[in-house]
Amino acid sequence: MNYRKIATMMLILLALPSVYGGVVVERGVPKNVYIGEPLTEVIRLSTDSPAEVELVERLPYGFELASPIEYLVYERVDEYNAEIVGYIKRSLTLEPGKQLMLEHTYKPVHLGTFYFPPIKLISEQGVFESEGSQVRVLCRSNGVCDTDWGENLATCPQDCAKGMADGYCDGLKDDVCDPDCIEGDPDCTQVCGDGSCDEAIENPYNCPSDCGQPLHSSYRVIKYYKMLLRVTREGVYLSNISLDFGAYYGQEPISNAWDFKLYDKSGHMINNFKKRLGAQGKITVKIPYSPIGYTIRVFRGAKLLLNVSVARFAKYCGDGVCSPDERYFTCPADCSSGMRDGYCDGLKDGVCDPDCNKEQDKDCTTTPIAWLLVACLLLVIAILALFYKLRKS
């Protein structure tokens, strides 16, 4: 008996599943898209053997998912819980010889060039990935410099003039101090070194004396709470708070810092961000966004200086409000069956779901039939009345 041949055959047989059990995942996205216009991502899946897979796609920065929203989940992605990102997760069945095509629609919400991470397919045969893709989001001129979308003199010179507050320092000597400059504009009086890190114009790279030394590779483009504060001798006051999207920098631990603590609805602290506010006047502070954030409390030492509600920006399931990103499928506690929420529940409950067509929700045929019966009854009554009148005459 030739044991070497037998061993070789066994190795070939063991290798067959990896050869014939392969899964192919391909992605197609346009290279450019205009701000505010939908982007359609086409995904093609194929296999040479039956496979049960889970598709996992991380949402790219600079985009919001428009559809299919029912597969969207949020997860924490770093050890500090400072960032919570969205994923699309779908369970799929692939058949050999048949290509499965999916479409995901995104809405660009910020100008710039953004990276679509590889799509992962997780199966018993292993993990298969697509290629990553880059998409450039361009501005469409409308005469308005919309900084919420990241428009500035560099990204959209058609709408943004030099010297205006647009988040970009032009550095031109034109007798106009660009409010976005700290260093680099000869027309400006420098503010770096005043003891406050104004994150509207300062960061650990251009002003480490106020903002602390930068952490290596800490630059990120994220969603954050933008707090406009007014610091006086008597205390600190909130002028405005909003959500924004843009650059955020991490820094080494700093002394004489104030604590900006983000809490959830139950009062548990999500994170603590150290900020330096030494000088009086107006100042901007950035706090990384969390969909479960409820309040931001500002401390100087043990003293509570400010308590700010951010509940209106939260994405809570169970708060009694069916938010735009919630559906009956994802949050039945807030979104009841039969309400317009972008999801067809298809339940036989006597309520026609306005998100369904007649084939998807059998209750949607109830109202038309009822009206038809009423119309028929009225027609019969009218005919009988006419017949009675003619007979009487």
pLDDT of amino acid 19: 33
pLDDT of amino acid 135: 95
pLDDT of amino acid 126: 87
Torsion of CA 329, 335, 338, 344, to 10 degrees: -30
Would you say residue 281 has pLDDT above 50? yes
Farthest CA pair distance, the chain: 114
Would you say residue 105 has pLDDT above 80? yes
Q: At CA 169, angle to CA 163 and CA 174, rounded to 5?
A: 40
Q: Are 117 and 58 in contact (CB under 8 A)?
A: yes
pLDDT of amino acid 337: 77
Question: If you search the block for the tokens 């505010």, which residue do you land on?
Answer: 36
Q: For residues 377 and 360, give the distance between their C-alpha atoms in angstroms, rounded to a whole number.
A: 29
Q: Are 229 and 198 in contact (CB under 8 A)?
A: no
SS3 20: helix
Q: For residues 102 and 221, give the distance between their C-alpha atoms in angstroms, rounded to a whole number.
A: 28
Between the two ends of the chain, the Cα-to-Cα distance in Å is 114
Would you say residue 17 has pLDDT above 50? no
Would you say residue 16 has pLDDT above 70? no
pLDDT of amino acid 262: 95
% residues pLDDT > 70 (the chain)? 82
Backbone angles phi, psi at 322, to 5 degrees: -85, 95
pLDDT in tens, 215-255: 766 677 788 999 999 888 888 899 889 988 888 888 888 88
Domains of the chain: 21-138 (2.60.40.10), 191-313 (no CATH)
Which class for 322: exposed (0-12), middle (13-18), buried (19 or more C-beta within 10 A)? buried
Would you say residue 78 has pLDDT above 80? no
pLDDT in tens, 172-194: 777 777 766 656 667 665 577 88
Would you say residue 306 has pLDDT above 80? yes
Q: For residues 390 and 393, give the distance between their C-alpha atoms in angstroms, rounded to a whole number.
A: 5
Q: At CA 119, angle to CA 116 and CA 120, rounded to 5?
A: 150
pLDDT band, residue 341 (cuts 50/70/90): low
pLDDT of amino acid 80: 44
Would you say residue 79 has pLDDT above 50? no
- Mean local confidence (pLDDT), 303-312: 92
Q: For residues 80 and 254, give the distance between their C-alpha atoms in angstroms, rounded to a whole number.
A: 17
The residue ranking higher by pLDDT, 40 or 334, is 40
pLDDT of amino acid 15: 36
Distances (CA, A) of 221 to 146, 150, 225: 18, 11, 13
Q: For residues 89 and 106, give the distance between their C-alpha atoms in angstroms, rounded to a whole number.
A: 15
- Mean local confidence (pLDDT), 115-135: 91
Of 271, 270, 273, whose CA–CA distance to 253 is shortest? 273
Would you say residue 21 has pLDDT above 60? no
How many CB atoms sit inside 10 A of residue 121's CB? 25
User: Across 117-121, 228-232, 370-374, which has the greatest mean pLDDT?
Assistant: 117-121
pLDDT band, residue 326 (cuts 50/70/90): low
pLDDT band, residue 330 (cuts 50/70/90): low
Q: For residues 74 and 86, give the distance between their C-alpha atoms in angstroms, rounded to a whole number.
A: 4
Would you say residue 261 has pLDDT above 80? yes
The residue ranking higher by pLDDT, 329 or 94, is 94
